[in-house]
Amino acid sequence: MNENTAAADPLIASARRDEICRIFGESYDPARWNDWRWQMRHRFIKPEQFEKLLRLTTSERRGLAMTHEKFAVAITPHFAELIDPDDPNCPIRRQVVPREEELLVGPGDMTDPCGEDHDEVVPGLVHRYPDRVLLLALDTCAAYCRYCTRSRLVSQGELDPLPRRLDAVIAYLEAHTEVRDVLLSGGDPLLMSEDRLDEVLGRIRAIPHIEFVRIGSRVPSFLPQRITPELVAVLRKHRVWLSLHFCHAREVTPDVANACDLLADGGIPLGSQTVLLKGVNDDVQTLKDLFHALLKVRVRPYYLYQCDPVVGTGHLRTSVAKGIELISGLRGHTTGYAVPTYVIDAPGGGGKVPIQAETIVSYENGQALLRNWAGRTYSYVDPAEHA
Q: Quick check: is 129 catalytic? A: yes
Distance in Å, CB of 294 to ligand SF4, minimum: 17
- Give the C-alpha separation, 153 to 206, whole Å: 29
Identity (one letter) of the amino acid at 346? Answer: A
CB count in 10 Å sphere of residue 337: 12
Binder to ligand SF4 among 218, 226, 288, 315 (CB under 6 A)? 218
Does 179 bind ligand SF4 (CB under 6 A)? Our answer is: no
Contact present, 73 and 45 (Cβ < 8 Å): yes
Q: Which residue is nearest to ligand SF4 (CB)?
A: 148
CB count in 10 Å sphere of residue 364: 7
Distance in Å, CB of 2 to ligand SF4, minimum: 27
Which residue among 145, 247, 260, 307 is the active-site one? Answer: 145
Complex with ligand SF4: residue 140 or 318, whichever CB lies closer: 140
Q: Quick check: is 345 catalytic? A: yes
Based on the number of CB atoms within 10 Å of its own CB, is 241 exposed (0-12), middle (13-18) or buried (19 or more)?
A: middle
- Give the C-alpha separation, 224 to 221, whole Å: 6
Q: Quick check: is 145 catalytic? A: yes
- Going by C-alpha positions, the residue among 269, 260, 193 that lies closest to residue 236 is 269
Does 141 bind ligand SF4 (CB under 6 A)? Our answer is: yes
Q: Which stretch binds ligand SF4 (CB under 6 A): 47-55, 169-177, 183-191, 332-340?
A: 183-191
Distance in Å, CB of 223 to ligand SF4, minimum: 10
CB count in 10 Å sphere of residue 165: 18
Residues pairing with 271 in the sheet: 243, 300
- Give the C-alpha separation, 314 to 103, whole Å: 10
Site for ligand SF4 in 228-247 (CB under 6 A): 245
Please state the length of the chain: 387
- Give the C-alpha separation, 297 to 62, whole Å: 38
Binder to ligand SF4 among 36, 144, 246, 303 (CB under 6 A)? 144
Q: Which stretch binds ligand SF4 (CB under 6 A): 3-11, 45-53, 143-151, 290-298?
A: 143-151
Binder to ligand SF4 among 150, 226, 248, 317 (CB under 6 A)? 150
Binding site for ligand SF4 (CB under 6 A): 141, 144-145, 148, 150, 154, 186-188, 218, 245
Q: What are the catalytic residues?
A: 128-129, 132, 141, 145, 148, 150, 308, 345, 352
